[in-house]
Structure 1
Amino acid sequence: MPLLRCLIALMLFLAAAGAAAVGNPPSAAQMQHDETEYQRLRGLGLKGETDAALQGMQQLLQRELDPELRVLAYTTGISMAAGVERWQQAFVWADAGLNFIEEAPKNSALLLSVSSYLYALVGDLERAQEFGQRGLVQAEAGGDLFVLCRALSTHAIVQELRKDLTALEPLRRRQIDVCGKAGDKIFVANGTQGMGMYFAGRKHYAEALQWFRRALQLFQAEGFDGGAQGAKLEIAKSLVALNQEAAQASVLLREAGRYYARQRLAQPLVDVEQFQAELAERRGDIADALQHTQHALQHTKELDRRMQERRLLLMQLQFDSRLKEEQIQLLEASTERAKGEAKAARKQQQLIAIAALSLLAAAALLLALLRRVFRDRQRYRFQSEHDGLTRLLNYPALLHQGAQVLAQARAKGAAFTAVVVDIDHFKTINDSHGHAAGDEVLRMLARWIGEAMGQRGLAARRGGDEFTLLLNMDEPQAEVLLQHLRGLIQPVRAQGTTPTLRFSVSMGFCQSDAEGETLEQLIHRADLALYRAKHEGRDRLVSAHHETSLPSNSGLVVVGSGIQFGRHASERCLSEIRRAEVLFCLTDPATLAMIQSMRQDVINLGRYYATGKDRRQTYREIDATIMAEVRAGKQVCAVFYGHPGVFADVPHRVVNQARAEGFAARMEPGISAEACLYADLGIDPGRRGVQSLEATHFLYYDRQIDPAGLLLLWQVALAGDLSCSRREADPAGLQALVDKLLRWYPSDHEVILYEAAQLPVFAPRMGRMRLSDLPAARYEEYTTLVIPPLDVLREDPCCGLASAVAE
Structure 2
Amino acid sequence: MTTSDSNKTKRGTLTIAGSGIASVGHITLGTLSYIKESDKIFYLVCDPVTEAFIHDNSTADCFDLSVFYDKTKGRYDSYIQMCEVMLKAVRTGHDVLGVFYGHPGVFVSPSHRAIAVARQEGYSAKMLPGISAEDYMFADLEFDPALSGCKTCEATEILLRDKPLDPTLQNIIWQVGSVGVVDMEFSKSKFHLLVDRLEKDFGPDHKIVHYIGAVLPQSATMMDTFTIADLRKEDVAKQFGTISTFYIPPRDERPINPAMAEAFGSPGAPLKLKSLVKWTGPKLNVSTAYGPHERDVIAQIDTHVAPEGRKKQHTSAAMKKFMTDLALKPKLLEQYKLDPVAVVESVEGLSNEEKIRLKSASDGPADVLTFVPT
Same fold (TM over 0.5): yes
Distance 1:803 1:570 in 2: 38
Amino acid at match of 2:154: E
Whether 2:242 is the aligned partner of 1:784: answer: no
Q: CA deviation at 1:788?
A: 0.8
Q: CA deviation at 1:566?
A: 2.2
The runs of at least 4 aligned residues of structure 1 exceeding 6 Å deviation read none
CA displacement 1:330-371 (0-9 Å, x = unmatched): xxxxxxxxxxxxxxxxxxxxxxxxxxxxxxxxxxxxxxxxxx
Residue 791 to residue 729, structure 1, CA distance change in 2 (3 Å): farther
CA displacement 1:295-339 (0-9 Å, x = unmatched): xxxxxxxxxxxxxxxxxxxxxxxxxxxxxxxxxxxxxxxxxxxxx
> 1:728 corresponds to which residue?
186
Amino acid at match of 1:766: M
Distance 2:274 2:76 in 1: 46
> 2:254 corresponds to which residue?
793
- For 1:551-562, list aligned pairs within 5 A: 554-562=12-20
Whether 2:43 is the aligned partner of 1:592: answer: no
- The partner residue of 1:574 within 32, 48, 63 is 32
Give the gaps of 5 or more residues in structure 1.
1-550
Paired residues of 2:171 and 2:249 also in contact (CA < 8 A): yes
Residue 647 to residue 768, structure 1, CA distance change in 2 (3 Å): same
Whether 2:263 is the aligned partner of 1:805: answer: no
Distance 1:566 1:704 in 2: 36
Paired residues of 1:718 and 1:726 also in contact (CA < 8 A): no
CA displacement 1:739-764 (0-9 Å, x = unmatched): 11222201011111100111221111
Secondary structure in 1 aligned to 2:32? helix
Amino acid at match of 1:783: S
> 1:675 corresponds to which residue?
135
Q: CA deviation at 1:593?
A: 2.2
- The partner residue of 2:89 within 610, 615, 629 is 629
Q: CA deviation at 1:653?
A: 0.8
Distance 1:725 1:606 in 2: 14
TM-score (norm 2): 0.65
Distance 1:771 1:726 in 2: 26
Secondary structure in 1 aligned to 2:216? coil
> 1:450 corresponds to which residue?
none
> 2:227 corresponds to which residue?
770
Secondary structure in 2 aligned to 1:636? strand
Paired residues of 2:178 and 2:241 also in contact (CA < 8 A): no
Distance 1:615 1:589 in 2: 20
CA displacement 1:438-488 (0-9 Å, x = unmatched): xxxxxxxxxxxxxxxxxxxxxxxxxxxxxxxxxxxxxxxxxxxxxxxxxxx
- For 1:282-297, list aligned pairs within 5 A: none
Whether 2:123 is the aligned partner of 1:666: answer: no
Residue 572 to residue 676, structure 1, CA distance change in 2 (3 Å): same
- The partner residue of 1:752 within 206, 209, 216 is 209
CA displacement 1:688-746 (0-9 Å, x = unmatched): 1111001000011121221111001100011122xx11442546x11111111222201
Paired residues of 1:729 and 1:779 also in contact (CA < 8 A): no
Q: CA deviation at 1:792?
A: 2.5
Q: CA deviation at 1:580?
A: 1.2
TM-score (norm 1): 0.31
Secondary structure in 2 aligned to 1:610? coil
> 1:743 corresponds to which residue?
200
Paired residues of 1:795 and 1:803 also in contact (CA < 8 A): no
Distance 1:680 1:602 in 2: 32
Secondary structure in 1 aligned to 2:193? helix
Identical aligned pairs, as a percentage? 33
Q: CA deviation at 1:662?
A: 0.6
Residue 585 to residue 726, structure 1, CA distance change in 2 (3 Å): closer
Secondary structure in 1 aligned to 2:256? coil
Secondary structure in 2 aligned to 1:639? strand
RMSD after superposition = 1.9
Distance 1:706 1:552 in 2: 47
Q: Which has the higher contact order (CA 8 A, sep 6+)?
A: 2
Larger Rg: 1
Amino acid at match of 2:225: R
Paired residues of 2:177 and 2:241 also in contact (CA < 8 A): yes
Residue 687 to residue 798, structure 1, CA distance change in 2 (3 Å): same
Distance 2:149 2:16 in 1: 29
Distance 2:195 2:113 in 1: 32
Amino acid at match of 1:803: L
Q: CA deviation at 1:789?
A: 0.7
Whether 2:109 is the aligned partner of 1:649: answer: yes
Distance 2:160 2:124 in 1: 37
CA displacement 1:625-678 (0-9 Å, x = unmatched): 111111111111111101100111111110111111110101111111101101
Q: CA deviation at 1:681?
A: 0.4
Residue 583 to residue 653, structure 1, CA distance change in 2 (3 Å): same
Higher strand residue share: 2
Q: CA deviation at 1:806?
A: 3.2
Secondary structure in 1 aligned to 2:201? coil
Higher helix residue share: 1
Distance 1:784 1:566 in 2: 21
Distance 1:678 1:781 in 2: 19
> 1:714 corresponds to which residue?
174
Paired residues of 1:717 and 1:730 also in contact (CA < 8 A): no
Give the gaps of 5 or more residues in structure 2.
1-8, 262-268, 276-374
Paired residues of 2:41 and 2:63 also in contact (CA < 8 A): yes
Paired residues of 2:13 and 2:93 also in contact (CA < 8 A): yes
Amino acid at match of 1:574: L
Amino acid at match of 1:774: L
Distance 1:652 1:609 in 2: 18
CA displacement 1:62-121 (0-9 Å, x = unmatched): xxxxxxxxxxxxxxxxxxxxxxxxxxxxxxxxxxxxxxxxxxxxxxxxxxxxxxxxxxxx
Distance 2:184 2:117 in 1: 28
CA displacement 1:165-188 (0-9 Å, x = unmatched): xxxxxxxxxxxxxxxxxxxxxxxx
Whether 2:156 is the aligned partner of 1:696: answer: yes
Distance 2:25 2:206 in 1: 35
Paired residues of 1:729 and 1:780 also in contact (CA < 8 A): no
Q: CA deviation at 1:805?
A: 2.6
Amino acid at match of 2:191: L
Secondary structure in 2 aligned to 1:706? coil
CA displacement 1:243-288 (0-9 Å, x = unmatched): xxxxxxxxxxxxxxxxxxxxxxxxxxxxxxxxxxxxxxxxxxxxxx
Q: CA deviation at 1:553?
A: 6.2
Q: CA deviation at 1:589?
A: 2.7
Q: CA deviation at 1:594?
A: 1.9
